[in-house]
Amino acid sequence: MSSRDHPDWWKNVGGSNSQDSTLERRSLVWNDDNILDGAVPAVFHTGLEWKAKFFSRGMRGKIERVWVYCIRTAAGVMSIGFSPQPRLRSLFNVTVTPGAGWAWVSVAVREMWNYDSLFLIVRTADIDVSYAYDLNEPYDYHRSNNLGVSWLPVDGRLFIRVEYTAETPGDVPVSGVVNVISIPNEASRGATATNAVPLNVETELIEWLRPGSCSFIEFRVHAAASSEQTALRVYCDEALIWEHDPLWLDSNGFTTATPTVSLPTYLVDGVCVILIHHRFEFKRQLRITCINTVAAQTVDAWAYPTLLR
């Protein structure tokens, strides 16, 4: 019989080592020069965006608040994005409202963070908003020149702190192939109906600005001249991944029974339907568009992604 089979097993859980591994941690995670409210930092950014701070390990838990050492001269605000790592789009953002003097300003987050690392991104900053950093070690500062598509290291530290409750004692490091663990996610649905598609104009139907995957897309072209030549396009992280029209699919033998991509309805100058069961994965963005280079059309589209949270 294991100790947990005994009705009083919990009474035997004692000692600092056991409690350290079972009880939650509550902490303020930071890497700065311990600057105090009112002090003017030696260096700071004003109105600059796409700067980031990376905490590489031990960040799983409930994020209660984020703190930024900042100031504003008018009515500006800044936003902080939360991502597990560089190049992965923010899972959510919060807005920070600085005060009229240099100070640590916090905003409530109260979100469970299910990842071992944390990448904090200054997504936006109004022109009157300044926030502090320094050029000291240990470095954890990154910057992007292309809206977060790629990141470059900077020898410095942004003055951003994170307050935790329900923090885990840390994950056991492993190497090699061990197991597949599901990352928390949320189901979503995107629908767009009766979209006018002008002649030879690529028209956006659906867009998500989150990391995740999508395994099912429905596309329907209304009856019209040259409807079968309306091409569906799927972009993942700005890269064109899939592009075909019903005419091409029919010419290449796609039918109702074709796996992965099927053509349940096909009529020249009539209603055409494409179903895609391929899994598209994306780090920052999924974008679905269509175009017809012969005639204007009307289309509907549906997609069902699984987004990280």
CATH number, domain with residue 34: 2.60.120
**The overall pTM is greater than 0.85:** no
Gyration radius of the chain's alpha carbons: 25
CA dist 301 → 22, 67, 94, 298 (Å): 48, 41, 31, 11
Task: Count Cβ atoms below 10 Å from residue 253 Cβ, excluding itself.
Answer: 8
The total number of structural domains that make up the chain: 2
Instruction: Quote the pLDDT of residue 177.
Output: 43
Confidence of residue 184 (pLDDT cuts 50, 70, 90): low
Same domain flag for 33 and 132: yes
Higher pLDDT, residue 15 or 252: 252
User: Domain containing 280 — which CATH number?
Assistant: 2.60.120.1390
Give the domain extent around 50.
24-167
In sequence order, what are the beta bridge partners of 164? Answer: 27, 63
If residue 111 lies in a helix (H) or strand (E), which one and from where to where? strand 103-113
- The percentage of the chain sitting over the pLDDT mark of 90, rounded to a whole number, equals 75
Asked if pLDDT for residue 166 goes beyond 60, the answer is: yes
Long-range Cβ contacts of 168-171 (<8 Å, 24+ apart):
168/24, 168/25, 168/58, 168/60, 168/61, 169/20, 169/21, 169/25, 170/57, 170/58, 171/57, 171/58, 171/60, 171/116
Confidence of residue 194 (pLDDT cuts 50, 70, 90): confident
Same domain flag for 238 and 162: no
Asked if pLDDT for residue 15 goes beyond 60, the answer is: no
Distance CA 164, CA 270 (A): 58
Q: What is the mean pLDDT of the chain?
A: 88
Torsion angle of the four alpha carbons 301, 302, 307, 309, in this order, in degrees rounded to the nearest 10: 100
Please, what sign has the CA dihedral across residues 109, 115, 120, 124? negative
- Least confident stretch, 1-10, 222-231, 267-276: 1-10
pLDDT, tens only, 104-125: 999 999 999 989 999 999 999 9
Q: Phi and psi of 12, rounded to 5°?
A: -90, -5
Q: Which three-class secondary structure string do you get for 154-198?
A: ECCEECEEEEEEEECCCCCCCCCCCCCCCCCEEECCEEEEEEEEC
Give the end of a domain, one of 167, 193, 208: 167
Confidence of residue 176 (pLDDT cuts 50, 70, 90): very low
Asked if pLDDT for residue 272 goes beyond 90, the answer is: yes
Same domain flag for 202 and 149: no
Confidence of residue 183 (pLDDT cuts 50, 70, 90): low
Asked if pLDDT for residue 175 goes beyond 70, the answer is: no
Instruction: Quote the pLDDT of residue 133.
Output: 98
pLDDT, tens only, 69-82: 999 999 999 999 99
Give the end of a domain, one of 134, 167, 200: 167
Q: Is residue 3 part of a domain?
A: no
